[in-house]
């Protein structure tokens, strides 16, 4: 696995060079869902400090078992009744796609007297099977969520379509970036568009070329997961 990590890190460096960006612009999130803590510990030893999980319970369990200098990223669909378990543990919630969910996170943040950083998840390709707010509705959701206490919008996230050829997703990464630039120009209070969470094992290099600041890589680090491929 340490070889996989080296390989992914080298690819990130290459993609940054190609795009004329500094390697420190891009953070690798090791997506450790379904993988045992022993594997996370190995990745940690190899320098990983950002891990991504898509299930609340798994994130919480691993949070308890792993060192405390880790940033946990909640990247999966989040149900409102589980918000209370991740607030205070996740450094960033990537998957906010409704005002109701943002309101719940806000309520919990206020209750715990903390601040929560969130991304707005955009269904950039308009796929029916995917979570995420529609592109045309994104600014509205950003404006509404920005008014809530206890939460801070840091940027946008997307899960691009499943494709054989990563180049096919370049258009969607470019669209998400453009959307974030457009929103940034509106100078909305409490909204910062510095984060673009996009790119997975199959397409993270293209995503970096199009401006990703977080790439979420699971299979490329930890190997195949033991369940049928699921993209959301």
Residues found near ligand PLP in the complex (CB under 6 A): 31, 33, 54, 75-76, 159, 200-202, 216-220
Q: Considering beta carbons, is residue 93 or 148 the nearer one to ligand PLP?
A: 93
- Element (H or E) spanning 216, and its range? strand 214-217
In the complex with ligand PLP, the residue whose CB is nearer, 16 or 157, is 157
Backbone angles phi, psi at 115, to 5 degrees: -120, 140
Of the candidates 199, 147, 153, the one whose C-alpha atom is nearest the C-alpha of residue 176 is 199
- CB nearer to ligand PLP: give 180 or 201: 201
CB of 188 to ligand PLP, least distance (A): 25
- Beta carbon nearer to ligand PLP, 211 or 220: 220
| Sequence-separated (6 or more) residues with CB below 8 Å from residue 170 | 206, 209, 210
71 forms bridges with which residues in the sheet?
50
SS3 108: helix
Contacts from 19-28 at CB under 8 Å and sequence distance 24+?
19/208, 19/209, 19/211, 21/208, 25/213, 26/208, 26/212, 26/213, 26/214, 26/215, 27/213, 27/214, 27/215, 28/214, 28/215, 28/217
Minimum CB distance to ligand PLP smaller for 100 or for 231: 231
Q: Are 204 and 215 in contact (CB under 8 A)?
A: yes
Number of H helices, E strands in the chain: 9, 9
Distance, in Å, from the CA atom of 17 to the CA atom of 20, rounded to the nearest integer, reads 5
The minimum distance between CB 111 and ligand PLP, in angstroms, equals 27
Q: Which residue is nearest to ligand PLP (CB)?
A: 218
């Amino acid at each position: 696995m340490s070889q996989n990590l080296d390989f992914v890190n080298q690819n990130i460096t290459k993609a940054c060079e190609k795009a004329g960006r500094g390697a420190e612009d891009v953070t690798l999130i090791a997506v450790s869902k379904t993988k045992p803590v022993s594997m996370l510990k190995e990745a940690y030893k190899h320098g990983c400090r950002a891990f991504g999980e898509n299930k609340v319970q798994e994130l919480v369990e691993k949070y308890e078992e792993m060192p405390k200098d880790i940033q946990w990223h909640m990247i999966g669909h989040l149900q409102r009744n589980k918000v209370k378990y991740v607030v205070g543990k996740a450094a960033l919630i990537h998957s906010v796609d409704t005002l109701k969910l943002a309101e719940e996170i806000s309520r919990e943040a206020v209750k715990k007297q903390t601040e929560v950083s969130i991304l707005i998840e955009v269904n950039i390709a308009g796929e029916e099977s995917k979570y995420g707010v529609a592109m045309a509705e994104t600014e509205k959701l950003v404006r509404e969520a920005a008014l809530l206490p206890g939460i801070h919008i840091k940027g946008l996230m997307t899960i691009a379509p499943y494709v054989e050829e990563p180049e096919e997703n370049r258009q969607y990464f470019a669209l998400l970036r453009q959307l974030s630039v457009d929103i940034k120009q509106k100078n909305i209070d409490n909204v910062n568009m510095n984060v673009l969470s996009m790119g997975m094992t199959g397409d993270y290099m293209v995503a970096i070329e199009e401006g990703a600041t977080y790439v979420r890589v699971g299979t490329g680090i930890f190997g195949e997961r033991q369940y049928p491929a699921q993209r959301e």
